[in-house]
Structure 1
Amino acid sequence: MRHPIFKNIGLKVTAVLLSFLLWVFATSRGVSEISLDVPLEFKNIPNGLELMYYGVKVVNLTIKGQERLIRTISPADIRVWVDLSKAKKGEGIYAINKNNMRLPLTVTVKNITPSSVKILLDESFSKRVRVKPVVIGEPKRGYHVKSVSVVPRNIEIEGASSKIKNIDKIKTEPIDITGLDETLTEDLKLDVSGMNIRTEVEEVTVKVVIEKEAR
């Protein structure tokens, strides 16, 4: 005698298939994809090396998730980085993969563009250089600049060897003496824009001594 479990087996199989299809339909409803541009970070740069160049600053991610949740996600919610702990001096190509990302739990990554980045590492180097005050303008008529001084006069800078070796001075931001008839002392920032270096201090004190011209 046929076991009851095999009775109407065709209907039972059909019911199971329908249930599965309904589950797939229900879970896939409201699923959406978006693309976001996320800044690329670099971690674990070895001691004694400096990151000089990298060909990619932003990574485009295609992410997938429930539509109502994915709409609230912004680039600030995602981090993408390259691990340079095993990097060596010179040029190299490093992979950008899903293992080096922090994502909201509600989404998955479908695509990463680009999938790699070319970078250049150079040796670290430091040295002391002089600080050059930048004075603009002219004092009041009948007055002149007697002297210009800066404290400290020399500072230590650090960065990539190929860049640091060509630097012999660091300028200050301008100090304007237009129309002045007395000594001016100001704390000024160092002008290191575009140099990609580090300095032991961020500001120096510049003193411009102004005195009346002798008749």
Structure 2
Amino acid sequence: MRSGIFKTYKGMNKDGVRFNRRMITFLFCMLISVFIWLLMALSKDYVIRVTFPVKYVNMPKDKLISNHLPQQMVLELKSSGFNLLNYKFKQQRETVLIDINDARFVSHNNYYIRSTNQLDKLTDQFESEVKVVSIFPDSIFINYNKKVSKRVPVKANISLDFDDQYQMADSVQIEPKFIEISGSSDVLSKIDSVQTAPVNLKKVSSTVFIKMEILKSPEYGQLELSHTSVQAKINVTKYTEAVQELSVEVENLPLGLMLKTFPDKVSVKYQVAFDDYGKINGSDFRVAVDYSKIEQGSNKLKVMILRSPKQVRSVKLSNDKVEFIIRKK
């Protein structure tokens, strides 16, 4: 009994092996057939439409294009299937070049380029087996304006947050300080300066060198800049606080009178760079009250800072008002 079952199973197993071999042979032949069919199909010529980015070359130096030119063109390409597959499925397509010198005069500052006249030039930009048979749009219209230039200052748009006791030693130094801008006269008449893109610096405690991009506002259209960025230098130094005691002087005092203030001296407090600390003394400052500013019924006068050295900042008085008495000499 067992022997019969084994013989039956063995016969079925042989039939299965023969079936699998026939199936594999069939699939292999089918794959070869499909491959041969693809080779034959792709060797034939086809025409496909492909969109390409456009770059315009040989722009006139003394003119400005005032209208919007197409930034993409649809080209009909003719070639074998092998060659066209590369253009059909390629994600990053080559930029096609349009020569502005081929523009023909229409009237005044208006010109146009007939796309059909560009077929040979565009075909030359592709592989030898690829031919451009048509282009959309079929015409490109160009409006020119006269280009003018002017020199304008660059303003740094920068926000600084200094670490404790550190401050900017002087103004932000820009190089170059001026740039040349070119465009239509209508646009340039509205521009007196250009600004950099905003920059924020935190916890600054040393001199900073930074490249700053010049901000080109969209409303300015096709504005050309001689520089797209500038170099900025910010001198940073450490400051300390210092105090000087000064005698209060009197301004505009009439002859024959004497004015005495109480107190007769005030303290002036200021911040100064460490490097300049020893260079500053009391004689560099001058404080005074003005006799002509006396108000009726008041016995106080405002103390004014008439002079302070340029190296100091944040100058403050211990008393901004003092009492006074007037006597005859």
Q: TM-score of the superposition, structure 2-length normalised?
A: 0.48
Q: What amino acid is the match of 2:96?
A: R
- Worse overlay, 172-181 or 85-94: 85-94
Identity %: 19
Q: Which residue of the other structure, out of 155, 169, 185, is the alignment partner of 2:209?
A: 185
Q: What amino acid is the match of 2:157?
A: V
Segments of structure 1 that go 5 or more residues without pairing to the other structure are 1-25
Larger radius of gyration: 2
Structure with higher helix content: 2
CA displacement at 1:91 relative to structure 2: 4.2
Q: What amino acid is the match of 1:57?
A: Q
- Alignment length, in residue pairs? 189
Q: What amino acid is the match of 2:86?
A: T
**Alpha-carbon deviations, 1:8-49, whole Å to 9, x = none?**
xxxxxxxxxxxxxxxxxx9x9722222211223323333411
Relative to 1, partners in 2 of residues 1:44 and 1:150: Cα closer, same or farther, differing over 3 Å? closer
Q: Which residue of the other structure, out of 103, 113, 128, is the alignment partner of 1:94?
A: 113
Q: Which residue of the other structure, out of 102, 119, 134, is the alignment partner of 2:157?
A: 134
Q: Is 1:136–1:176's contact at 8 Å kept on the other side of the alignment?
A: yes
Relative to 1, partners in 2 of residues 1:131 and 1:30: Cα closer, same or farther, differing over 3 Å? same
Q: What amino acid is the match of 1:60?
A: V
Give the corresponding residue for 1:11. none
Relative to 1, partners in 2 of residues 1:171 and 1:30: Cα closer, same or farther, differing over 3 Å? same
**Is residue 167 from structure 1 mapped to residue 191 from structure 2 by the alignment?**
yes
Relative to 1, partners in 2 of residues 1:53 and 1:134: Cα closer, same or farther, differing over 3 Å? same
CA displacement at 1:137 relative to structure 2: 4.1
Give the corresponding residue for 2:47. 33
CA displacement at 1:133 relative to structure 2: 0.8
Structure with higher strand content: 1
**Aligned mates of 2:206, 2:57 — CA distance in 1:** 50
Give the corresponding residue for 2:96. 79
- Worse overlay, 129-138 or 149-158: 149-158
**Aligned mates of 2:202, 2:240 — CA distance in 1:** 16
**Aligned mates of 2:72, 2:240 — CA distance in 1:** 58
**Aligned mates of 1:205, 1:40 — CA distance in 2:** 33
**Is residue 151 from structure 1 mapped to residue 175 from structure 2 by the alignment?**
yes
CA displacement at 1:59 relative to structure 2: 0.6
Greater length-normalized contact order (CA 8 Å, ≥ 6 residues apart):
1
Give the corresponding residue for 2:142. 119
CA displacement at 1:82 relative to structure 2: 4.5
Q: What amino acid is the match of 1:162?
A: D
Q: What amino acid is the match of 1:157?
A: I
Secondary structure at the aligned position of 1:68 is classed as helix
- Worse overlay, 164-173 or 86-95: 86-95
Relative to 1, partners in 2 of residues 1:55 and 1:186: Cα closer, same or farther, differing over 3 Å? closer
**Is residue 204 from structure 1 mapped to residue 230 from structure 2 by the alignment?**
yes
Secondary structure at the aligned position of 1:136 is classed as strand
Secondary structure at the aligned position of 1:192 is classed as coil
**Alpha-carbon deviations, 1:94-143, whole Å to 9, x = none?**
32122442333313333322111233221111111001011124222454
**Aligned mates of 2:165, 2:108 — CA distance in 1:** 58
